[in-house]
Amino acid sequence: MRWVSVISMILVSACASAAKPEPKTAESIVREQETPLKLIDAVTGSEVTLEWLMSQLRNKRVVYVGERHDRPGDHAVQYSLLRRLYAEDSSVAIGMEMFQVPFQQPLDQWSAGEIDETVLRRETEYDQRWGFDFSMYRPMLEFARSRGLEVVALNAPQEIAFAVAKSGVEALPADVAGTLPELDLDDPAHRALFDSEFDASQHDVDDGIDRYYEAQVVWDETMGERVAETLGHPNGPARMIVFAGRVHVKRGLGIPERAARRGATPYAVVMPVADKELKAEMKVPPEQRSADFFWVVRE
């Protein structure tokens, strides 16, 4: 009867394998993690409900959602908030750091249903210029396309930002410098944030940290200007939701305040955080916390 035992073991093993769930893809996490593990009001440190958060966002013209580019849970927050904001008011545009200003036309064609994803990625040079897993942005982009929402390319051309990081703003040719927005290089709070985030050991830096800061400001001012221009256009949307890296929205010192200087107010910053990140945030005074609201996600 040994063969019976062997067959039984094989069948049990096969059943166990069949029952084992497939690992979730990054995209499925973005689509399925609709609600937070918990939500925290950064001012009070208190846990709040999703309904309360939406009530606080209702009067904001811009909602900034930070991200760690490679963490699906952060993008799940973006997708969830986009859908909830749209449900309240369909006049909403999406601003994305992931696309650079010269490539606005393909985004317009995408939203109009004129090109497919393959063409969008090729024409925006997404994989060369951004390169993070496209599938984590697909749910938001498909949502925009299905409803004809404007997707705004926010970021400065990387050629300009890299040139500034290498040689500084003053070294730019006059015709290139003329394309830049007004740059505020004298915000001490923003500079302190940059210095605290910048790891010189990861860059070929000697005395060039000032040039790297100028490049950071070029990014933030360009994106802030794009947000303000979109909202200020006569046919512009009533509101925007902006997706950008954490450092660009942290404490409102990057894009948000530079857009606000140009009239894009009021705004709020929602930051996806893992539990250990939330604990670190709660150790500092409210005015030093990185956002207005924390949405806790899985690591």
User: pLDDT confidence of 23, banded at 50, 70, 90?
Assistant: confident
- The reported pLDDT for the residue numbered 255 is 99
User: pLDDT confidence of 205, banded at 50, 70, 90?
Assistant: low
Q: At what angle do helices 104-111 and 138-147 cross, to 10 degrees?
A: 60
Q: Name the amino acid, one letter, at 262.
A: R
CA distance 12 to 6: 10
Residue 158 has pLDDT above 60, yes or no: yes
Q: Which of 18-22, 96-100, 174-178, 210-214 has the lowest average pLDDT?
A: 18-22
Residue 203 has pLDDT above 80, yes or no: no
pLDDT digits (tens, 9 = 90+) for 139-156: 999 999 999 999 999 999
- What burial class does residue 230 get, using C-beta atoms within 10 Å of its C-beta: 0-12 exposed, 13-18 middle, 19+ buried? buried
User: pLDDT confidence of 204, banded at 50, 70, 90?
Assistant: low
Give percent of the chain above pLDDT 90: 87
User: Which DSSP letter does residue 49 get?
Assistant: -
pTM of structure: 0.91
Residue 15 has pLDDT above 70, yes or no: no
Residue 14 has pLDDT above 50, yes or no: no
- Complete domains list, the chain, with CATH: 27-296 (3.40.50.11550)
User: pLDDT confidence of 12, banded at 50, 70, 90?
Assistant: very low
Residue 165 has pLDDT above 70, yes or no: yes
Under a CB-based contact definition with an 8 Å cutoff, are residues 26 and 135 in contact? Answer: yes
pLDDT digits (tens, 9 = 90+) for 28-41: 999 998 899 999 99
Residue 131 has pLDDT above 80, yes or no: yes
Helix (H, G, I), strand (E, B) or coil at 185: coil
CA distance 23 to 248: 32
Going 224 to 230 to 234 to 236, the CA torsion angle's sign is: negative
Residue 103 has pLDDT above 80, yes or no: yes
Residue 209 has pLDDT above 70, yes or no: yes
- The reported pLDDT for the residue numbered 22 is 75
- What burial class does residue 135 get, using C-beta atoms within 10 Å of its C-beta: 0-12 exposed, 13-18 middle, 19+ buried? middle
